[in-house]
Structure 1
Amino acid sequence: TDVVVMGPGSLYSPKLLELGGNSVNGLYTSAVFFPNDPRPEVQKFVKGFEAKYKATPNMFAGVAYDAINLMSETIRKVGTDRKAIRDELTRTKDFPGVTGRITFTERRDVIKDYRHLVVKDGHFTLYDK
């Protein structure tokens, strides 16, 4: 019988594909950022990043990009007062980022979208649940 293998987002790595070869085909995982995501905002970011840095952006680049954009927008709205920034961030609902929609709770916990991935033919690809 076939066994479905699902793993944490830490498995999303080119090194896994390199070391695992064909044995990792069919593995399911998730990622907060996936540079092959076809959404226009992601592809615009990826193209700009690649043009400037001659490399594909990784998860850290996507998260940093969203963090800077969210903070920039928040500071534009409320200024530089720390408490005002903190309070405004708790009102953030569905901020459109390259990592997906970003929402903060009143307790300042972040709720984020994740990309659902499967390894197919030696490559990570998006899959629908």
Structure 2
Amino acid sequence: MSESYGVVAAVVVLGLLGLIGAFALNKALTVTYPTAEKLTTYESGVDPVGEGWAQVHIRYYLFAYLYVIFAVDAVYLFPWATVFATLGVATLIEMFIFLAFVAVGLLYAYRKGVIRWT
């Protein structure tokens, strides 16, 4: 049992070493000549005016939440539906529990007024 943990630990260590090595190689091979023009902010060809900080309205988090609900639903429901015939009753119950969580999320979005059924 401990041998399998050793393999996992070795893969993680090798992955981290590869990541650190890639960053180090990038830093070593990059040639930079910082000038005043290169250090200024560039916004799609328009000179920046005013502050760079803008406040976002809190209602947009609900749209992000709604997207996550549908994206997670699609990621789990469609593959499950394609292999449903080979799965047992336990996976059917688990999928109904998952769909109950999705329904609670949709009900929350409906109660907040994000979804209108008209």
Q: Same fold (TM over 0.5)?
A: no
Q: Which one scores higher on RCO, CA 8 angstroms, separation ≥ 6?
A: 1
The answer to which structure has the higher strand fraction is 1
TM-score, normalised with respect to structure 1? 0.24
TM-score, length of structure 2 as denominator length: 0.26
Greater helix content: 2
